[in-house]
Structure 1
Amino acid sequence: LRQCEQYLQLHPKMKMVETYDTAGSAKMIAENNLVGHAAICGRYAAELYGLKVLEDDIQTNKRNFTRFLVVTDPCNATEFKNQKAVDKASIAFTLPHSQGSLSAVLVIFSFYGMNLTKIQSLPIIGREWEYRFYVNLTFNDYTRYRQSIDAVRPLISDFKILGEYAEYK
Structure 2
Amino acid sequence: MKEVAIQGIKGCFHELAAQKYFGNQPITTVECLSFNQLFGSFKCSPNYYGIVAIENSLAGTILPNYALLRNSELSIIGEVYLRIEHNLLALEGQQIEDLREVYSHPMAIAQCQDFFDQYPYIRLIESPDTALSAREVGSKGKKGVGAIAGKLAGQYYNLSVLVAGIESNKQNFTRFWVVQHNRALPRNPLQVPNKASVCFHAAHRQGELAAILTLLAHYELNLTKIQSLPLPGKPWEYFFHIDLTFTHYAAYRQAIEAIGTRVNSLHILGEYAEGIKSETV
* TM-score class, shorter: 0.7 to 0.9
Q: Which residue of 1 aligns with 2:215?
A: 108
Matched, 1:134 2:204: no
Give the count of matched residue pairs: 163
Shift of 1:151: 0.7
Structure with more strand by fraction = 2
What amino acid is aligned across from residue 108 of structure 1 in structure 2? L
Pairing partner for 1:7 from 111, 121, 124: 111
The alpha-carbon distance between structure 1 residues 85 and 99, as it changes in their structure 2 partners (threshold 3 A), is same
SS of the residue aligned with 2:254? helix
TM-score w.r.t. structure 1 length? 0.75
Match of 1:18 in 2: 128
TM-superposed CA distance for 1:67, in Å, is 1.2
Secondary structure of the structure 2 residue equivalent to 1:68: strand
Instruction: Decide which moves more: 127-136 or 47-56.
Output: 47-56
Shift in alpha-carbon separation, 1:94–1:46, aligned structure 2, 3 A: farther
What displacement does 1:77 show?
3.0
Measured against aligned partners, the alpha-carbon deviations of 1:53-89 in whole angstroms (never above 9, x if no partner) come to 5442737693531312312244x4339625x620011
Tell me the distance in 1 between the aligned counterparts of 2:254 and 2:234.
30
SS in 2 for 1:103: helix
- Is the contact made by 1:5 and 1:60 (CA closer than 8 Å) also made in structure 2? no
Structure 2 counterpart of 1:56: 165
Q: Deviations over 1:95-136 (max 9, x none)?
A: 122111101111111111110001111222442221111111
Give TM-score, length-normalised by structure 2: 0.48
Give the distance between the partners of 1:77 and 1:30, measured in 2 at CA: 40
Structure 2 residue runs without a partner (length 5+): 1-104, 117-121, 277-281
Q: Write the deviation string for residues 24-79 of structure 1: whole angstroms up to 9, x where unpaired.
A: x37735872654242434x55555666545442737693531312312244x4339
Q: Partner of 2:124: helix, strand, or coil?
A: coil
Determine the C-alpha separation between the residues in 2 that align with 1:101 and 1:91: 17
Gaps of 5+ in 1: none
Task: Measure, in 1, the Cα distance between the counterparts of 2:188 and 2:107.
Answer: 31
How far apart are the structure 1 equivalents of 2:187 and 2:153? 24
Matching residue of 1:98: 205
From 132, 139, 158, the equivalent of 2:265 is 158
Contact 2:106–2:126, Cα closer than 8 Å, also in 1: no
